[in-house]
Each structure stands twice: as structure tokens, then as C-alpha cells.
Amino acid sequence: MNNDEYLKNYKPEKYDKLSLTVDALIFSIINDKLCIRLVKRNKPPFEGLLSLPGTFVKINESLEDAVKRVLKEKAGFSDIYFEQLYTWGDVNRDPRMRIVSVSYISLLSEEALSNVIKKEETDESFLDVDYILDNPQLLAFDHYKIIESARKRLAILAEEYNISFEFLPKEFTLPRLQKITEILLGHNLYKANFRKKIQDKVISTNTYTSGDAFRPSMLYTVADKDSFKV
């Protein structure tokens, strides 16, 4: 049997099929707190509880395209950073039917956020991650476990890669970069040490902030997004 004949006679139905979703963990820093986009479920199961924005993966759509669709449709963003986190495949993770979910971490700058979502809406739909992690009963499905896992990953990404840049606009100050990193790590850093560590990853623009009631701060841009491994 040659290849064409084989493909012609192939019956896809002889293998089990199941539903696949992608879930997006859209993080942003709001008022110096790490927040995550969650939606309130308006139907069973878990009606009234919070869940990650997600969608079913279409048969002719890559996982990345499905994530982009979620980010655009459910959050209004395009061209933002995301990366795969983990795939969750317990048999009973959804009480309705067998659904396997591929979760993606996505990072949003405050700037990008304010461009799309009104202030009041932001307060509703982006929730403090610390608060969420203290209240597991608020989450639907296995989404608490997923958020927990993503929270740990973010700390690693801040420590070993320089993921903090993704939360900032094109130009930023070092105090701000340090603050973001501290939020992601969960502890404070020494200013001088932090600057020594990241000095090769930023480029001075030779312009300064202004208007604040204190000393202006130098604005920087990212040096090389591809060489971020410490």
C-alpha cells in the first residue's frame, strides 16, 4: 500500500478524540500589585466562580493561534508576549466532559492595558494574585492549581530571564524595573546590586523623567531581548 492509498483509506474515527482548550494567564502590574485577568462564570458548572479566560481549540487552528484569539477576543490585545506553561489532563478536571487544557502565560504592560480597557473595567476583571491565592474557593475547575503553578513560574522568569521588561513600556526607569522585579520575586532587592546585575541589559536614552517632586530618573530601553538568560 502506497502513501496515497493509505491516506485515502485512513479513518480518523478509530481513535478516541477529545476536547482541547487553551487557557490564558494574563498578568499585569496594577497599582504595584501583580494581577491576573479572571472572568466570572455565568452558567454551571461553577456558576458565579472565577475562571481563566480560555477557548476551545478549533480543528484547523494551532495552539498559538487559539491563544491569540483568546487574548484578542477576551482581553482585547494583540502582539503581546505569551509562552506555554503546562498542559493539564486529568480525566475529571471538567465535570461536563473530558477536556484537556494547554495553559499559556501572557504578560501585559500597564500601558497596553490602559489603552484597551477602561479603568473601572480593569478593577473588576484584573484581580490581585495574592488575594486569589489566599482564596482557593473562588476558582472554578482546577484553575487554582494552574494559577499557583504560573505564579511560581513568574518568579523563575524574573530571576533567571528578564521577564520584568514585558510589563513595562518601551522606555522605563531603573527604579520602576526594580519595583516590577521585586513584585514578581516577592521580596525586595538592593538598588546598587540590582543595577549591577542588569546593567548590560538596558541602554540609556539620555532623557529623563520630569514633573515629579523629586529628582528625575534616567529613561532606558531594552538592550537585547534575545539574550536574556542570566
Partner DNA sequence: CAAATAGTGTCTTTGAGACACTATCGT
Partner DNA sequence: ACGATAGTGTCTCAAAGACACTATTTG
Amino acid at 15: Y
DSSP, residue by residue, 97-164 = S-EEEEEEEEEE-HHHHHHHS-HHHHHHHEEEHHHHHH-GGGB-TTHHHHHHHHHHHHHHHHHHS-GG
Per CB under 7 A, 195 contacts DNA: yes
**Which residue, 18 or 203, is less far from DNA as judged by CB?**
203
- Angle CA 47–51–57, to nearest 5: 110
**Hey, which residues between 117 and 176 contact its own copies (CB under 8 A)?**
none
Residue 20 CA to residue 56 CA, distance in Å, equals 6
Q: Is the dihedral of CA 91, 94, 100, 105 positive or negative?
A: negative
Applying CB under 8 A, the span of 87-95, 114-122, 177-185, 190-198 interacting with its own copies comes to 87-95
Between 56 and 208, whose beta carbon lies closer to DNA?
208
Q: Which of 97, 134, 214, 229 binds DNA (CB under 7 A)?
A: 214
Q: Taking the complex as a whole, how short is the minimal distance between the CB of residue 201 and DNA, in angstroms?
A: 12
- 179 lies in the binding site for its own copies (CB under 8 A): no
Which three-class secondary structure state does DSSP give residue 183?
A: helix
All three cell numbers of 67, joined, read: 491563544
Residue 230: CB minimum distance to DNA, A: 6
Name which of DNA, its own copies, none residue 214 binds, using a CB cut-off of 5 to 8 Å depending on partner kind: DNA
- 90 binds its own copies per the rule CB under 8 A: yes
Cβ closest to DNA, residue 133 vs residue 185: 185
Distance CA 210, CA 219 (A): 11
Residues that bind DNA (CB under 7 A): 173-176, 189-193, 195-197, 208, 210-218, 230
Residues that bind its own copies (CB under 8 A): 1-3, 6-8, 10, 12, 15-20, 43-45, 47, 56-64, 84, 86-87, 89-91, 95-98, 100, 102
